Structure 1
Amino acid sequence: MLRICYTSEARSPDDQQQFAEIVSISAALNKRDGVTGLLLWDGLLFLQALEGPDEAVSECYARIARDVRHFQIRVIFNTEIDHREFGHWSMTQRTLGRENTREFEQEVKALVNNVSDFDLRAFFVGFAALSDGRRRLAGGRESDPRRGLLI
């Protein structure tokens, strides 16, 4: 089995409808292909872990990498695994809203509490903890996909 974990930047920050479409389609494809994982989105950045059969995870990640709705994809982990950390979820997701910053962090901590891979757990908890600060620094500015920067 394979785990790929990556981050990327949304081309359309805070587009809830687009995110709902991504989740809906991804959940169906992941269930079909035996891929499990967790997706976080703070309105600016995505953090996702994908797990499952090598070929299915590789194909899923290749689809994601071609998706024009995000850019600046950075792979954090690409590793063989002997068990799934997110085995019950074809696509569990959490989104940071402007009003739920503390709840977002607490929810993420609860979701990854039983993850045995310390580094994986730390990435998700750290992402959640820093999300509110990223949003405040962005201050509603739009992303410039040509440069990968907030302007």
Structure 2
Amino acid sequence: MFLQLVYISTARPTLELSDVESILQTSRRRNGADGVTGLLIFDGKRFLQALEGPEAQVAKTYERIQADPRHRAVVQLNRAEVSERQFGQWAMASQLVGPVMGSGSMVEQVDQLTDAIEDPNIKATLRSFARVRGAA
């Protein structure tokens, strides 16, 4: 069994794209060592992230995330035990979408990124994020 945790947070106004790149580099290294897989979506203002792996490692990762001053208002959306990983062997798949990339449909990008996710609830959570942000 694995712990799967999904949260959303708001980036601090001072966050720059180089900060996001640093977050990704660090998380890929740490997550690979800890056996944590997942997905991070960032639209320039908010983060949506799914983490999965051994319970202790996911909990430790989430505690680090909550303490990170580069974002605020961390809200856990889902926490569940799963028998199979939804995010394969990704150390941390990521997508910078919408305004961050300057073009393209956030909805289309997130739909493509989440197409292979089998759990309908997790897929809906990630896709709903894109649709709410796309309508804003």
TM (normalized to structure 2)? 0.91
Query: How much has 1:105 moved relative to structure 2?
Result: 2.2
Q: Structure 2 matches for 1:92-131, cutoff 5 A?
A: 92-98=93-99, 99-102=102-105, 104-131=106-133
Task: Return the offset for 1:4.
Answer: 0.6
8 A Cα contact 2:51 2:58, kept in partner: yes
Q: Do 1:101 and 1:132's aligned partners in 2 also have CA atoms closer than 8 Å?
A: no
Q: What residue identity is the alignment partner of 2:121? A: D
Matched residue of 2:85: which SS?
coil
**1:13–1:43 contact (8 Å) kept in structure 2:** no
- The farther-off stretch of 8-17 and 69-78 is 8-17
Amino acid at match of 1:20: E
Aligned residues: 133
Q: Describe the superposition over 1:28-64 as per-residue Cα deviations: whole angstroms up to 9, x where unpaired.
A: 0001100000000111110000000111101000110
Are the structure 2 counterparts of residues 108 and 97 from structure 1 closer, same or farther at C-alpha, using a change threshold of 3 Å?
Answer: closer
Of the two, which has the highest radius of gyration?
1
- Name the counterpart of 1:63: 64
- Cα deviations across residues 68-104 of structure 1 (Å, max 9, x unaligned)? 11111110111111110002211111112432241x3
Unaligned runs of 5+ in 1: 135-151
Long gaps (5+) in structure 2 = none
Distance in 2 of aligned mates of 1:74 and 1:15: 21
- Residue 132 of structure 1 is matched in structure 2 by 134
Moved over 4 A (4+): none
Residue in 1 that maps onto 2:48: 47
TM-score using structure 1 length:
0.82
Task: Give the Å deviation of 1:13.
Answer: 5.9
Matches of 2:68 and 2:37 in 1, distance apart? 19
Q: Deviations over 1:108-140 (max 9, x none)?
A: 112211212111101111112222333xxxxxx
Letter in 2 for 1:100: S
Shifted more, 116-125 versus 42-51: the winner is 116-125
Distance 1:22 1:92 in 2: 12
SS at match of 1:49: strand
Sequence identity (%): 34
1:17-96 mapped onto 2 (5 Å cutoff)? 17-96=18-97
**What does residue range 4-19 of structure 1 map to in structure 2 within 5 Å?**
4-12=5-13, 15-19=16-20
Q: Find the counterpart in structure 2 of residue 142 from structure 1.
A: none
